[in-house]
A and B are shown apart, each in its own frame.
Chain A
Amino acid sequence: MSTSESEDSTGLLRTVLPPNQVDRVFDFCGENGWKLLALGAVVGALPPLLGLEQGYYMTVVSEMYLFAILALSWDLVGGQTGYPSFGNMAFFGIGAYATAILVKDFAVAFPVALIAAGLLAVAFAALIGAAVLRLRGHYFAIATLGVLLAAQQISRNLDITGGASGKILLQVPSGTVFYYLFFGVLVAEMALIYYLSNTRFGFILNAIRDDEEKATAMGFNTTYYKTAAWMLAALFTGVAGGTYSLFNTFIDPQTAYNGAWNVELIAMALLGGSGTVAGPVIGAFGLHTLIEFVETAFVGWQLVLLGGAVIVTVIGFPEGVVGTLREYASEMAYYERGGMAAVDSGEDTEVTADE
């Protein structure tokens, strides 16, 4: 499409970072995925042990993990399955409120409340999914946005959720607990999605994204798989929401069902590279760090930056960081591995055999 253009602009890049080098990195990552994940888990678990104190930095890193969970969950349905949801924060809000209410009003232990919150989000996803997952493209996006707004309005009107003033939670665990909780959930989710992406289930989700009608014609009941992915995304988003309500010590309709966050986590997934495991996580880490920096250095400009980042990504790197690199790495592979050659030789033998 734009090969001549990209050849000019990436001429320097090609010398500094040849595609086959990048390809080798991808091969290495592909072969050592589990080891890299384990290494990441160890590295991520170290900072509090090495003296990272509770406070600003621990909070920032914890939030980074939180956004990575949210972006990865969104991507399971939005990137892997091709159903871009603008309502994922509904699961987050349900998880957050369920945990807050159970812990504060019913004196349920935090871990139990968290499990209940996850399950409630899953149940909600099953119910809503049956309706909205019939829609495609923009209709699906609009419907999920409607779900988010409706959920927000409901929590504003109910007594049990504390109405518009929300709920304040004072007795909460220490920051280190939240750090490990967010991190643990993130690692578990990455491991699960990484595993699933190499199973038949993962293939079917990708197939639904690429051509749902063909997937149906091949014998897959796509509704079933879409709903399963949607429920899995709800589980992690709900647990993240439940953790967040206590982490933040305060929850109200605006923070629990935060529409701006919903855009943020989509931006993270797209920036990093949707449809991959590492992409949304990289996107979340990168964009959240950037947003944090802008928030302290140029107060009030973070949404402008977010908007700018989304526009640049969508125009310049629609595949995101990981996707763009992967495309770059494999651009010669088609020819190297005998793309046209295979056809040519096939034709030759066929012609000589016939004549």
Chain B
Amino acid sequence: MSETTEPDARTAAAATDSDRAVLRTDGVTKRFGGLTAVDDVDVEVQKGEIVGLIGPNGAGKSTLFNCITGTLSADEGRVYLQGQDVTDWPEYKIARAGLGRMFQETRIFGDMTVRKNLLLAAQEGGANVGSLLRRPDDTLIERTEELLDYVDLGGLAETRAGRLSFGQQKLIEFAMELMAEPDLLLMDEPAGGINPSMLENLIEYIRTANEDEEATIFLIEHNMDFVMEIADRIYVLAHGERIAEGTPEEIQNDQRVLDAYLGRE
């Protein structure tokens, strides 16, 4: 609250962890009728971290994501992005403020070429009229070439994105996020539905983006091996509540988590 009332005090308090957080939710609650899908959840993601979010089906993971991105509006609690209260902002404005999102079902623009998908993702120029009405410049086009080569899809720039395989589309969606360079990237089940060798590639790409480009990532994942390998910290949700938080080792040995989730398998 002090952040919104005293903007000057914020710089003084910048040393504390919670103010440096790229993302912070404070008691976010979302109800659908009688069901509390997300119940008073606090999470925090620091710059440069890869944070995992796990939990059984129906635990409220995607709903929490939707509350963060503004797709749904939280009934209670606040969401802070880079210390700024974005709770009541419209979805597009939160995205523009530096939040990227990859969807569970992989969403790209199928009737547009791969290159146009990537050019669209670039945030340079934003929404000002001048840059909207100009053709994309050469540096942006070069960047699309680089990124496509990087994810081994060079040569497909002029192909309709809808013709690519699911795994390739996933890589394109990831490349689009690299193009956009968001402050925080939310990934909903990045490992879902792709073959093991491509998963190896994806882990590599995510690691590299995190280490070289300082990408901060918050991801939902059901693939335990994947999330334990890649995440610095993990939050566990069950029945909408946050039941645990810690390093992958701590989570693997947490009795509540084993009961609620891992123990079931």
Name A residues whose Cβ lies closer than 8 Å to a Cβ of B. 196, 198-201, 203-204, 206-207, 209-211, 213-222, 224, 275, 330, 333-334, 337-340, 342-343, 345-347, 350-351, 354
Contact size class for B?
Answer: 35 or more
Contact yes or no, B197 A221, CB < 8 A: no
Interface of A is mostly: helix
CA distance A211 to B135 in the complex (A): 22
CA distance A337 to B158 in the complex (A): 9
* CB of B201, distance to nearest CB on chain A (Å): 6
Instruction: Other than A211-B108, A346-B152, give 13 A-B pairs with Cβ distance below 8 A.
Output: A204-B120, A204-B132, A206-B109, A207-B112, A210-B110, A217-B95, A217-B101, A218-B121, A218-B176, A219-B95, A333-B159, A343-B198, A350-B201
12 A-B residue pairs with CB within 8 Å: A200-B125, A211-B107, A217-B92, A217-B95, A219-B96, A333-B158, A334-B164, A337-B156, A343-B167, A350-B197, A350-B204, A354-B200
Q: Tell whether B160 is near chain A: CB-to-CB under 8 Å.
A: yes
Instruction: Given the known inter-chain contacts A200-B125, A342-B153, please indicate yes or no for A217 contacting B69, CB distance below 8 A.
Output: yes
* CB of A31, distance to nearest CB on chain B (Å): 13
* CB of A187, distance to nearest CB on chain B (Å): 19
Residues of A within 8 A of B176 (CB): 218
CA distance A354 to B199 in the complex (A): 13
Contact yes or no, A345 B159, CB < 8 A: no
Q: Tell whether B58 is near chain A: CB-to-CB under 8 Å.
A: no
Residues of A within 8 A of B111 (CB): 206, 209-210, 275
> Which of A203, A333, A351 has a CB less than 8 Å from the CB of B120?
A203
Within 8 A of A (CB), among B180-236: 180, 197-198, 200-201, 204
Q: Tell whether B73 is near chain A: CB-to-CB under 8 Å.
A: no
CA distance A210 to B113 in the complex (A): 12
CA distance A342 to B201 in the complex (A): 13
CA distance A249 to B83 in the complex (A): 65
Q: Can you name the residue of chain B whose Cβ is closest to the Cβ of A228?
A: B132
Q: Can you name the residue of chain B whose Cβ is closest to the Cβ of A323?
A: B111
Q: Tell whether B263 is near chain A: CB-to-CB under 8 Å.
A: no
Q: Interface readout for B151-175 with A: 1 if CB under 8 Å, 0 if not?
A: 0111110111001110110000000
Residues of B within 8 A of A207 (CB): 109, 112, 120
Contact yes or no, A343 B132, CB < 8 A: no
* CB of A345, distance to nearest CB on chain B (Å): 7
* CB of A182, distance to nearest CB on chain B (Å): 26
CA distance A217 to B105 in the complex (A): 14
* CB of B166, distance to nearest CB on chain A (Å): 11
> Which of B71, B134, B197 has a CB less than 8 Å from the CB of A347?
B197
Contact yes or no, A199 B108, CB < 8 A: no
* CB of A5, distance to nearest CB on chain B (Å): 19
Residues of A within 8 A of B133 (CB): 196, 199-201
Q: Can you name the residue of chain B whose Cβ is closest to the Cβ of A208?
A: B109
